[in-house]
Amino acid sequence: MRRALMALMGTAAGTVLLVGAKAGFSSSSDQPLQPQSAQGPIPATSSAGSVPPSGAPPADVAAGTGQTPGAKATTPAGGTRTTAPATKPTTTAAKPPRTTMKDGTFNGNPIYVEYGNVELSIVVAGGKITDVKVLDKPSEASRSVQINNAALPKLRSEALAAQSADIDTVSGATYTSSGYKLSLQSAIDRAFQG
């Protein structure tokens, strides 16, 4: 029980110190707590490129003012000078992702498979895939040509029916089928990015 209490007190003390350091407050007991910017400028170090001490202003502090550029200096009734942070520019919200494909022709990535590259392009009209064209296919060996002549029309019809790259692999054309799906997916991704 005593160890738990000590651990809890240590955690609380550490948190207070971290919050104070983050806020830039002095921890000296003979002075009232005030922000570092109200205590005056912090002396610079003599070595170039050294890391400033904890609580030091950033390197882009305006020379001689102890302020960051764009900050407003105000003097309240008590005569203590305080610095208000500069306002941050507002950013526009990112465009939400498209829910339909943009019309046009979109090329997929060339995908290297065991016997050569597979590369496709898709034609999108009315937000739907209306055509899939083969730009490149394995054709070095006569067996590859035979396999592709049988597999590519099946893969095309499945892609048009599914309107996605989630299609079945054609038996006997595993490499071509996997390259076809990957190239098709990259073309679909481009159509959604518009």
Counting the structural domains of the chain, the total is 1
What CATH number does the domain containing 136 carry?
Answer: 3.90.1010.20
Among 111, 132, 130, which Cα is nearest to 121's?
132
**Residue 79 forms part of a structural domain:** no
**Residue 66 forms part of a structural domain:** no
Instruction: Read off the pTM.
Output: 0.52
Sequential pLDDT tens for the chain (194 residues)? 677 767 777 787 777 766 666 666 544 455 555 555 455 555 554 444 444 555 555 554 444 555 555 555 555 555 666 566 666 666 666 666 668 899 999 999 999 999 999 999 999 999 999 999 999 999 999 999 999 999 999 999 999 999 999 999 999 999 999 999 999 999 999 999 97
Print the domain residue range for 148.
104-193
**Residue 154 forms part of a structural domain:** yes
Task: Write the DSSP string, the chain.
Answer: -HHHHHHHHHHHHHHHHHHHHHHTB---TTS---BGGGG-PPPPPSSTTPPPPTTPPPTTPPTTT-S-TTPEEE--TT---EEEPPPPPP-PPPPPPPSSPPSEEEEPPPEEETTEEEEEEEEEETTEEEEEEEEE---SSHHHHHHHHHHHHHHHHHHHHHTSS--PPPTT-HHHHHHHHHHHHHHHHHHHH-
**Residue 43 forms part of a structural domain:** no
For residue 69, the model assigns a pLDDT of 53
**Residue 44 forms part of a structural domain:** no
**Residue 3 forms part of a structural domain:** no
**Residue 25 forms part of a structural domain:** no
**CA–CA separation, 144 vs 137, rounded Å?**
9
**Residue 22 forms part of a structural domain:** no
